[in-house]
Amino acid sequence: MPALRWLRTYQPGWLRGDVFAGVTLAAYLLPAGLGDASLANLPPEAGLYACLFSGLVFWIFCSSRHTAITVTSAISMLIGASLGGIAEGDATRFGALAAGTALLVAVIAFIAWLARAGSIVNFISESVMVGFKCGVALFLASTQLPKLFGISGAHGNFWENSRHFLTRLHETNITSLTVGGTALGLLLLGKFFFKRIPVALLVVIGGVFVSSVLNLETRGVKLLGTVPQGLPTLGLPAIRWEDLNELLPLAFACFLLGAVETAAIGRTFAAKHGGRLDANQEFLALAAANLLAGLGRGFPVSGGMSQSLVNEGGGARTPLSGAIAAGIVLIVTIYLSQLLRSLPQPVLAAVVLVAVTGLFKLSTLRHLRHTNRTEYIVAIAALAGVLCSGLLRGVLIGAVISLVLLIRRASRPHVALLGRIPGSNRFSDHDRHPDNELIPGVLIFRPESGLIYFNMDHVHDSIMERLRAEATPPRLVVLDLSACPYVDMHSAHMLAELAEEMNALGIRLRAVEARASVRDRLRNERVDDTLGGVNRFTSVADAIELMPSAEADGDRAASGQSPANNTAEPATPNHGMHPR
């Protein structure tokens, strides 16, 4: 529990910043909880319960000083789009399944913490997350625009929702559009010009006041409705054992989204304020937060980027600000929730739409298009997966794309052809630096990756293709293993086969500059002699310098003569050390 450490050294001067940040954060958590509960097709109190109970424990376990736990638009949409078929129209069962999903997320996060699987968040590439978030933003917009215009909404994918909205524009309620459009304009002004003011909370309060004074419900404007006052009874949700199999893919997708988002937030603030994020510790914090959210009739939660930025901007010094924010949400839930009944749905839709603008990063897509076409295609594929297959499948498509991309890169490592740097005795990539000098009769290759069974064919083929492209076959091939941290058994034997293949063509292969673990592997597999005798002394330059004497010995051996140096000391590299 990191809180036990920093509470011992807590300074009184920090309290003012934490209190102010906590009040500001609560002002953003309340409308977010209401809006995201709507996205999840849950009653508004579910969002309040999720923010409340998760906030009461997250601050104790988290390692980041500024990360705020909350319901998020992406996870809320995932819940809303995935549970409808399982619940079969039963609202009570829908809420129980959402709480059960939070409990499963807690179990997955706890197992990830036990396994110290903090690196798992790195498997989802940033390009996939960019595409996924853009897809989520468009999907969210397709669900909220009907509410803004006061028309009935559909419950399908992006294309179905968009078609439904466009074909029913003639049903627009002018009063709803006026109220929602005004709220949207005020929120956008606050987003760009009044970033330190809780404009969302002020708009929600103003919407409740206008609705009560003008009696908007009689004008056809839909209201939020009754929000139960008080706290729910903590306990396990009423779900069946067989429901767990149905919920597991959804829970894993929610965990993956939450883990990636929470880790990204923590890294952002760690880089800005110093320190180091413990991703494994964040898993435990997520487990505790989702456990209490599930027991408290909420739904899955994770770190929220916009809320965390509000927390930091409010002057938070420690995670105590999150506890203060949860305390304020607790007071509202117990004593003030009935005041939210008159909140117009178009105002809530405006709050969600403004939050969505932070997910759609068109500038990042343009940047990827001009700098890395592969990552741009991956981002577009993730975006299309969300729009065409739904959020849950979109998450899984993104995860699969990330893994395929990772395997593809690992299976096709760069094999550099080295040349001598002019005026030195060092060598670097000739393709990158064409002024490097190629050595006549010698080709020098450097695989820039560990050599593993699934990438060794590519390394072998890259070297042989370059050999065949030479007008005059080289006399010596030097294999620089300095950039190779690992060689497995299969690759060790394939290197020996490569050497024998070259010997048949009259070419000598010499491996140099191997790391200690690689040398041990080559010796244990008894292939070091085939590679010219692997040692820790010989460099690329040494192997080239020793080439004439090695060839002379080979010629004498072929003619039946004794090698010229059979009674002399072994030839030594230019630094005076004997190879082992």
pLDDT tens, residue order, the chain (580 aa): 877 787 788 778 778 777 877 876 776 777 778 777 877 888 888 888 888 888 888 888 887 777 888 888 778 878 887 887 777 777 888 888 888 899 999 999 999 888 877 666 666 677 777 887 788 778 778 877 888 888 876 666 778 788 888 888 888 888 888 888 888 888 888 877 776 666 776 887 888 888 888 888 788 788 766 666 777 878 888 888 888 888 888 888 888 878 877 776 776 667 666 666 677 788 888 899 999 998 988 889 888 766 776 676 666 777 888 888 888 888 888 887 777 677 787 887 787 677 667 677 788 888 888 888 778 888 888 888 878 876 656 666 777 777 787 788 888 888 998 889 888 888 888 888 888 888 888 999 999 888 888 889 999 999 999 888 888 888 899 999 988 898 999 899 999 999 998 888 888 999 998 899 999 999 998 988 888 888 888 888 888 887 654 444 444 433 444 444 433 333 444 444 333 3
Question: What does the buried/exposed string (b/e) look like for 64-77 if buried means 16 or more CB atoms within 10 Å of the residue's CB?
Answer: bbbbbbbbbbbbbb
- According to DSSP, the β-strands at 69-70 and 302-303 are antiparallel
| Residue corresponding to tokens 């579910």 | 46
For the record, the structure tokens of 331 come out as: 């007071």
Per-residue pLDDT at 128: 76
Count of residues in the chain: 580
DSSP for 138-206? HHHHHHHHHHHHT-PPP-S-HHHHHHHHHHTGGG--HHHHHHHHHHHHHHHHHHHH-TTS-HHHHHHHH
For the record, the structure tokens of 476 come out as: 């010596």
Would you kindly state where each structural domain of the chain is located, as residue ranges?
Answer: 14-407, 415-559
Nearest by Cα to 479 from 184, 471, 456: 456
Taking the CA of residue 430 as centre, how many other CA atoms within 13 Å lie in the half-sphere pointing to its CB? 14
Distance CA(473)–CA(476), nearest Å, equals: 9
CATH number of 415-559: 3.30.750.24
What is the C-alpha end-to-end distance of the chain, expressed in Å? 51
For the record, the structure tokens of 72 come out as: 């998020």
Distance CA(47)–CA(573), nearest Å, equals: 72
Distance CA(287)–CA(290), nearest Å, equals: 5
Per-residue pLDDT at 105: 92
Is residue 163 within 8 Å of residue 140, measured between CB atoms? no
Rounded to the nearest 5 degrees, what angle is found at the Cα of 306, between the Cα atoms of 131 and 269?
95
